[in-house]
Structure 1
Amino acid sequence: MKKVAFYTLGCKLNYSETSTIGRMFEERGYKKVEFNQQPDIFIINTCSVTENADKKCKKIVKEANKINPDGYVAIIGCYAQLKPKEISEIEGVDAVLGAAEKFRLLDIIGDFVKEPKQPEEKVYNSKIEEAIDYHTSYSLNDRTRTFLKVQDGCDYPCAYCTIPLARGKSRSDTIHNVVKAAYEIAESGVKEIVLTGVNIGDFGLQGDERKETFLELVKALDKVEGIERFRISSIEPNLLTDEIIAFVAQSKRFVPHFHIPLQSGSNKVLGLMRRRYKRELYADRVAKIKELMPDCCIGVDVIVGHPGETDEEFLTTYQFLNDLDISYLHVFTYSERPNTTALSIKPVVPVNKRAERSKMLHILSDKKRRFFYEQQLGKNFSVLFEEDVENGLMQGFTENYVRVVAKYDPLLINETKKVNLVNINDEMLVEVEEVYEELVHA
């Protein structure tokens, strides 16, 4: 029995796909092992959002060669679609599979026998226009939470982004298939599902026709028995409608937590980025959420140092974020990516200035998170406790995404408990009362 190991770089979507490919290997008789357990085959699922992700890929290949010099190394994912020849020339790489090929790697490669090959023979990479199939995927690495892919690809040509070049056109699963997958996940004991994709608000496209909507999907999933929580990973502000917000506000299973990409608080920079909304719409979405769900957690993606972002434009973004009733930031430092239109925009922001702006927003994020946590103290929430235990303590998340810490109790693992939030510790974790109420089940 050959052993196979996986390493995933990048987003939740990648994790869902890696897990699914891993189950495909197991169905063919392979044994799935950890990366450091002398596997015969290494599958590395790559990201290419930033230059740093590319460097990480090379580092992981080098480590795989150290662990087992005779191991077969296959590279899949976004970087593999964008730079197949470059990856094929990395020492120790045996195969590179693009977006249209990664789910067929067992059939394409066969026995995964390591043989001397010319670089061009290692590459199985179609044009991105051929990546039109949809593959249902979900992760099962964590008993308490799984990432369920509902959509892939993107039709939004943002100036800084390579994802349309790496994943192709927007396409979706069907509601029937997603609901079926949710029931399969429920049978495995998972309590929380995170819906993921490249642009999940664009759900419903099959081919060039929109046959279903994201709101219809949410309503269908809300009826799935056995799953206590559904969480929406990220949704574009222009696709987050009043109807979606209102449904989540009264939902049985969808939790009060939204992650909404902003990228810039300057309308000028949003225009340069080719985003499909202005800051006024974003502020309206936040206000609507807070009107219906005052304790809702709102996360924000923001990019610093995009070409054309002057000091004045950055300060506009900073002030806009400071004034918004949001809970935390995911801060991305702009990184030049080949074949993107942002490369032609001037002026270019110096790297050291990008780093300064990133630091400022990280500090702001910490302040926002602490303030949000402080607002929740003294209130009762349900916490889904996780399996990871460190120094006699275990952690979990409330429905509105407050990370809590409690004394380890094996009976709490993968269980939902009603708790009272009492204190924020030095590690920005919220301590809870040690007297728990009865378990809560959906």
Structure 2
Amino acid sequence: MLDQVTKVHDETRQGEAYGPEATETQTYTKKFYIESYGCQMNFNDSEIVASILKEDGFGPTRNVEDASLILLNTCSIREKAEVTVRKRLTEFRKLKQRNPELLVGVLGCMAERLKSKLIEEEKLVDMVVGPDAYRTLPALIEEAETGQKTVNVLLSREETYGDINPVRLDTNGVTAFVSIMRGCNNMCSFCVVPFTRGRERSRDMDSIIKEATDMFNRGYREVTLLGQNVDSYYWVSEDITVTFANLLEKVAQISPLLRVRFSTSHPKDITDEVLFVIAKYENICNYIHLPVQSGSTRILQLMNRTYTREWYMKKIERIREILPDCALSTDVITGFCTETEEDHQETLSMMDYVKYDLAYMFFYSERPGTLAARRYQDDIPEDVKRRRLAEVVELHRGHSLLSMQKDVGKTFKVLIEGTSKRSEDHLFGRTDHNKVVIFPKEDHKKGEYVWVKVEDCTAGTLLGTSTGKA
């Protein structure tokens, strides 16, 4: 779908190795090493996989040399991610030459799309497991240990892993992701997700509340509810129907000390009901990620986004009417099929209209299997895509800096997530607008809420001093 991602205030992680929770004390004779690529959903899936493997006698390790099982949880959204994964698999093949009993597997979206190439043509892996087949991992591992190549990439209309308690592998002990649904029914023409993750299905509310409550009782102070399109969450039992607004409220009611975020929203599905719930609860963050993709109605129609430029702008107006202090972030794709300079200028003018606080910006690259790949020619030269992307990035950086500068002199409630990477004497946390704040450590600790007065900023970070515990 997308390539050459440029992110400001990036909250996702690429190719990150997972290790055990700080509370992990059990020793294991078999160990697994896992790297995860792509969206937050993939990282949450890796935690589900870890839970399944621990039940099968495997323990997590951060040291790839100690592993008897190496897994890469992959993403097909961007070509760059696939190139990176192939490079890593080539490196792991060298480990297998030294240790023939080592098993290497590929999980996730890339696994589903490239199963035959990875196993038969390139002979890079021992097993390929799709996003809906993680429960079969123990059986697949057992078969692979006999020398057989194993594959399960069947998609499901029911699987939500709602009964599995994820193992928090790479955690700060403060923030966590909770998956509320899987798959996607939106057929955006540029996107491969409906083909790699299947149709949309919602997890039962009770299991979500139980997991979020467990996180809070274990000391976590922020949960992010995850889905490809959280606003279309819809769960029905015998005597109750639950919408996303209902679920959001239930999670917020766990405790006023538990911050709640969610991602991602589709502009066509986010409702006034959701906005009013956000306004009602102080612990639901005033932050909405609302991908626009393009500012041109013509391009939006080609993308099958099901809204127009004018409709999106009215949705922004409604958000600001109900939530005047709400921070907004977005995704933008430049250089989609047939995009003209006029279309591009409409995207720039949309960004000027909204002035997003955060943005994830890409230029388009065709992904095999998508509707766009079948219907349209990828006809915009790469140098034009890159130039347009650079213009989008430059414009957003100005908006981001203005957004940060507006906060100088104000005091915010900040949840401390850990020590600053640049200084052991400073801590970092986030406002409910999802802006990173750095301030002197003093006697504060991770997991606390503190009031921080902002004294300065960069285009991506607020700098301040604590005025006391919140």
The TM-score normalised by the length of structure 1 is: 0.91
In 1: Cα distance, 2:297 partner to 2:160 partner: 35
Secondary structure of 1:301 counterpart: strand
User: How far 1:34 moved relative to its partner?
Assistant: 0.7
CA deviations on 1:272-302 (whole Å, 9 max, x unpaired) are 0011211222212222222333332100111
User: How far 1:11 moved relative to its partner?
Assistant: 0.4
User: 2:114 aligned with 1:83, yes or no?
Assistant: yes
Structure 1 counterpart of 2:140, from 102, 108, 126: 108
User: How far 1:193 moved relative to its partner?
Assistant: 0.5
Counterpart in the other structure of 2:406: 375
Counterpart in the other structure of 2:449: 416
In 1: Cα distance, 2:126 partner to 2:283 partner: 45
| TM-aligned CA distance change 1:139 to 1:274, over 3 Å | farther
Show the 5 A alignment for 1:43-122. Answer: 43-67=71-95, 69=97, 70=99, 71-88=102-119, 89-110=121-142, 113=145, 116-117=147-148, 121-122=149-150
The letter of the residue matching 2:33 is A
Show the 5 A alignment for 1:354-365. Answer: 354-365=385-396
User: 2:395 aligned with 1:395, yes or no?
Assistant: no
Relative contact order (C-alpha < 8 Å, sep 6+): which is higher? Answer: 2
CA contact (8 A) 1:148 1:195 kept: yes
CA contact (8 A) 1:383 1:419 kept: yes
Secondary structure of 1:369 counterpart: helix
CA contact (8 A) 1:100 1:131 kept: no
The letter of the residue matching 2:365 is S
CA contact (8 A) 1:17 1:139 kept: no
Structure 2 counterpart of 1:134, from 157, 160, 166: 160
In 1: Cα distance, 2:144 partner to 2:30 partner: 10
Equivalent residue pairs, number: 429
User: 2:324 aligned with 1:304, yes or no?
Assistant: no
Structure 1 counterpart of 2:197, from 151, 167, 181: 167
Q: Bigger shift: 384-393 or 309-318?
A: 384-393
| TM-aligned CA distance change 1:110 to 1:131, over 3 Å | farther
In 2: Cα distance, 1:59 partner to 1:144 partner: 33
User: How far 1:339 moved relative to its partner?
Assistant: 1.9
CA contact (8 A) 2:356 2:396 kept: no
The letter of the residue matching 1:430 is L
CA deviations on 1:191-233 (whole Å, 9 max, x unpaired) are 10011111111111579xx942111111111111275200112
Counterpart in the other structure of 1:4: 32
Gaps of 5+ in 1: none
Show the 5 A alignment for 1:224-303. Answer: 224-225=254-255, 227-303=257-333
Counterpart in the other structure of 1:201: 231
Structure 2 counterpart of 1:39, from 67, 76, 81: 67
Gaps of 5+ in 2: 1-28
RMSD: 2.2
Q: Bigger shift: 395-404 or 339-348?
A: 339-348
User: How far 1:106 moved relative to its partner?
Assistant: 1.6
Secondary structure of 2:291 counterpart: strand
Secondary structure of 2:312 counterpart: helix
User: How far 1:342 moved relative to its partner?
Assistant: 1.2
Counterpart in the other structure of 1:366: 397
In 2: Cα distance, 1:16 partner to 1:276 partner: 29
User: How far 1:122 moved relative to its partner?
Assistant: 3.1
CA contact (8 A) 1:7 1:35 kept: no
The letter of the residue matching 2:86 is K
Secondary structure of 2:439 counterpart: strand
In 2: Cα distance, 1:244 partner to 1:386 partner: 27
In 1: Cα distance, 2:191 partner to 2:460 partner: 32
| TM-aligned CA distance change 1:315 to 1:407, over 3 Å | same
| TM-aligned CA distance change 1:394 to 1:90, over 3 Å | farther
The letter of the residue matching 2:196 is A
| TM-aligned CA distance change 1:91 to 1:389, over 3 Å | farther
In 1: Cα distance, 2:312 partner to 2:197 partner: 26
In 1: Cα distance, 2:138 partner to 2:419 partner: 33
The TM-score normalised by the length of structure 2 is: 0.86
In 1: Cα distance, 2:63 partner to 2:40 partner: 19
| TM-aligned CA distance change 1:205 to 1:358, over 3 Å | farther
Secondary structure of 1:412 counterpart: coil
In 1: Cα distance, 2:442 partner to 2:91 partner: 36
